[in-house]
Structure 1
């Protein structure tokens, strides 16, 4: 059973891999196969769910947030609580632990700014408070786990929360003597040329791919984990039935020759 806490001081020692997940599903979606591979080998993995804070229902929700709640088929008063339960189930399948942070999703954090699909996938505002929060978090984790490898979203798809986690964590990790890399944000990475477009934005020549081979068993573990996010499958894949094929197709598409399936990470060179 996954160890889940909202208190960083309660975390045990010994994590070899730390995945920064902007939302309560990004780690499983983007690197679930890698996580399963590491935990099966006996290596401890910590997933840090950055935007997992519970918004106050008394404050009300924007029209955009309400429309998303309807698409997720979740009651507004318990959206994040429900998604935390989904994530716990997924991480239980993968064998990873989780740290839940109190930061709010963009649609709750800055509802007047990130008020529609366009603004949610555009340039974040300069004074977004998530930046400082991720800097503090990453600094704390680097000091606590100097021998761990960190995994950060590449921000394919340009969701503002992914961009902010990418930028803030990178600023800390580049200055620290630790290992780190970037994972491809799935399912955004499925879109034609999406990964290359993102790499072009941040300087393609500075990054090289690192492949994580997946066999049938690991791929199935990833699919099983993703299936736990029942509220998100319609929005992300058009329904639960379409999800396994989408995950399998991308894992086969990016696989390096001699691999059947893979996930792909990117490292600075």
Structure 2
């Protein structure tokens, strides 16, 4: 079992909630230790009525929020509360969520499918934006989603991570929850699709901070009933999943080193 290396880190989440759901225990560990750990929410741009099509409106109805201005206000308030629970700060970037990017993704089958070729430039743009954030420091490690579940925004942020790795940045992919919980075969499918893009996984013990991860997840009151509609107790679902990633009695979170494009072997420190 590994421990986080000291130093600054950026935890990049496609949407409000992805980092607390997936690796909040590690963020809390680093924050407690005094490391400069920051959350960055990518698809958090301004939202206006014209951006909300039929599919996006259906998503809003599931969150029990209709007004676009209210959607952003609520989601950002939840994100800020979760960051406080983990002991870190959060920065919101200006890109629009996939459901607001015109008519590219108009159904769940498209949203959880192949990333459109014309959007690959977004990954390079995002990588460039990340290294110019005020929080960026020499030696900053970057954490991105592995892309389990095939959400196009998660895939896009992973590709941004590969761009960063190609620039010499130390990049790790976290295990996307709740997708990895709801679809146990999802991790294997994603790893098979990625091939040599990632190295061997390692786990970080989070027994000391699991409760803080759960507290942070609970802050997303508009999302928890939708995300965990298949279970009566999201805390138990998260705790059981974390326990399965560690040794007996020692819950953990799992990560993969992200390799630069064209690199086939990885030596992890």
**Shorter-chain TM-score tier:** 0.7 to 0.9
Distance in structure 2 (CA, Å) of the matches to 1:100 and 1:145: 18
Please show how residues 236-251 of structure 1 align to structure 2 within 5 Å.
236-238=227-229, 241-251=232-242
Gaps of 5+ in 1: 1-13
Shift, 1:82, TM fit: 0.8
Secondary structure class of the residue paired with 1:203:
helix
Matched, 1:133 2:133: no
Q: Is the 8 A contact 1:16 1:43 kept in 2?
A: yes
Say if 1:126 and 1:254 are closer, same or farther in 2 by CA, change over 3 A: same
List 4+ stretches of structure 1 deviating above 4 A: none
Shift, 1:249, TM fit: 1.2
Distance in structure 1 (CA, Å) of the matches to 2:189 and 2:229: 24
Distance in structure 2 (CA, Å) of the matches to 1:246 and 1:115: 30
Distance in structure 2 (CA, Å) of the matches to 1:127 and 1:63: 22
Say if 1:19 and 1:60 are closer, same or farther in 2 by CA, change over 3 A: closer
- The alignment of Structure 1 onto Structure 2 pairs a total of residues equal to 251
Say if 1:206 and 1:69 are closer, same or farther in 2 by CA, change over 3 A: closer
TM-score, normalised relative to structure 1? 0.87
Match of 1:180 among 142, 151, 171: 171
Please show how residues 92-241 of structure 1 align to structure 2 within 5 Å.
92-110=84-102, 112-128=103-119, 130-141=122-133, 144-171=136-163, 173-190=164-181, 191-203=183-195, 206-215=198-207, 217-238=208-229, 241=232
2:63 aligned partner: 72
Say if 1:60 and 1:169 are closer, same or farther in 2 by CA, change over 3 A: closer
Gaps of 5+ in 2: 1-5, 259-265
Match of 1:87 among 75, 79, 83: 79
Let me know the Cα RMSD of the aligned residues: 2.2
TM-score, normalised relative to structure 2? 0.87
Distance in structure 1 (CA, Å) of the matches to 2:127 and 2:117: 14
Matched, 1:19 2:45: no
CA deviations 1:9-51 (Å, max 9, x no partner) are: xxxxx97111111001111111100001111111111111100
Q: Is the 8 A contact 1:189 1:195 kept in 2?
A: yes
